[in-house]
Amino acid sequence: MPLEQIAILAAKDGAPEVFCDEEPAPVFISLSHSGGVAFCAAGSPGRPLGCDLEKIEPRSAAFIEDYFTENEQAAIAGKEGAALWANLVWSAKESALKALRSGLRIDPRKVEVEFSADTEKLRWHGLKVAALECGSVFHGYWRFSPEFVFTLVGGQPYARMANFDLKHTPLDP
């Protein structure tokens, strides 16, 4: 289909929706961008999906206290590379909130992240995110590059992604 016939528009809840030739397309997408890089995940309609990427940068103690649960704060406390772990938790929360199609209308402290603390670069690692108030649990993966952390979650565990190749292409200015 020619690109001019494809549109990505915001739904009433703000989530992106794909249209082909002005008709809803049978695909669900999640989008994210940070630091001049974009990340998109696509899946079947009706299955929750969320992705996020964050530039790895320091997060203040106040930010962590305001947005992270006590368990998350304990999980990242004292870890070497604190910026990576704080951005991982934040990114996973954002992915889950996108899968819920709520964004930050839900308090991020009502979403709790569990992650594997493997530090091997350029490899996908498991994570789980529980939306505490609504009882939803999302399964997914995270990985980091030298500058970014990427997270992807869905309503059911995904097939192993260890060999999934992430194309990392900066956006044009």
Per-domain boundaries in the chain: 48-154
Name the pTM for this structure: 0.85
% of the chain beyond a pLDDT of 70: 87
Q: Output the CA–CA distances (angstroms, integers) from residue 126 to 9, 28, 137, 154, 160, in the order listed.
A: 31, 22, 14, 12, 9
The arithmetic mean of pLDDT across residues 46-63, rounded, is 93
Q: What is the pLDDT of residues 109-150, one digit of tens each?
A: 999 999 877 666 668 888 999 988 888 899 999 998 889 999
Give the pLDDT score at 14: 87
Please determine, looking at this structure, whether the domain spanning 48-154 carries the CATH number 3.90.470.20: yes
Specify burial of residue 11 (Cβ count, 10 A radius: 0-12, 13-18, 19+).
Answer: exposed
Let me know how long the chain is. Answer: 173
Give the model's confidence band at 158: pLDDT under 50 very low, under 70 low, under 90 confident, else very high.
Answer: low
| pLDDT in the model for residue 145 | 87
pLDDT tens per residue, range 67-97: 999 999 999 988 888 899 999 999 999 999 9
Residue among 140, 139, 141, 113 nearest 125 (CA): 141
Mean pLDDT computed over 26-33? 93
**Spatial separation of the C-alpha atoms in residues 68 and 40, rounded to whole Å:** 25
Assess whether pLDDT exceeds 50 at residue 159. Answer: yes
From residue 109, give the alpha-carbon distance in Å to each of 41, 69, 128, 161. 25, 5, 15, 28
Query: Does 163 score more than 60 pLDDT?
Result: no
- Please report which helix (H) or strand (E) contains residue 120, including its range: none
Whether the predicted pLDDT of 55 surpasses 90: yes
Which pLDDT score is estimated for 17? 92
Residue 135's pLDDT is what? 85
Q: pLDDT per residue over 31-49, tens digit each?
A: 999 999 999 999 888 888 9
